[in-house]
Amino acid sequence: MSSHSPTRAREVMVVGGDVVVVWADGHESYYPGAELRRACTCAECKGEGHLFGRSTLPTLKPLVPEAFVPVAVGLVGNYGLQVTWGDGHDYGIYTLAELRAACPCDGCRAGAPPAP
Ligand SMILES: [Zn+2]
Ligand SMILES: [Zn+2]
């Protein structure tokens, strides 16, 4: 562990259907849009599947294919990543610490420390 934090992002971008985060330590993470959208923690998405006692008129609209396509990404302070989706949804903020912990690359999945 050194003084710089690996959970700070140097750059974020959309590449194809993936959200890409370049971390402060140089590591790059590629998150498939579909998986990221499904993991959206905002109130609207988190409510999916819960009816809150109402049996009719669900307030949640079904997700269209565009909903899983990231169109823009931006940093929120030093801790968060906000994604704008193809359906206009942009409520969800993913914390960088969680994203780094969930990096799907082979090295991180294997539990190996990222190369310096
Ligand atoms: Zn959401
Ligand atoms: Zn990784």
| Calpha distance 109→116 (Å, rounded) | 17
Give me ligand 1 centre to Cα 111, in Å: 28
Q: Which residues surround ligand 1, an ion (CB under 5 A)?
A: 40, 42, 44-45, 91-92
9-109: CATH class? alpha beta
Percentage with pLDDT > 70 across the chain: 78
4 vs 24, 42, 91, 107, CA distance in Å?
8, 29, 29, 20
For residue 111, which ligand has an atom nearest its CA?
A: 2
Q: Coil, helix or strand for 48?
A: coil
Q: Spell out a b/e string for 71-85, using b for 16 or more CB atoms within 10 Å of the CB, else e.
A: eebebeeeebbebbb
Identify the pLDDT of residue 47: 46
| Segments of the chain scoring below 70 in pLDDT | 1-4, 47-61, 112-116
Identify the pLDDT of residue 61: 63
**Which secondary-structure segment (H or E) carries 12?**
strand 9-15
Give me ligand 2 centre to Cα 53, in Å: 41
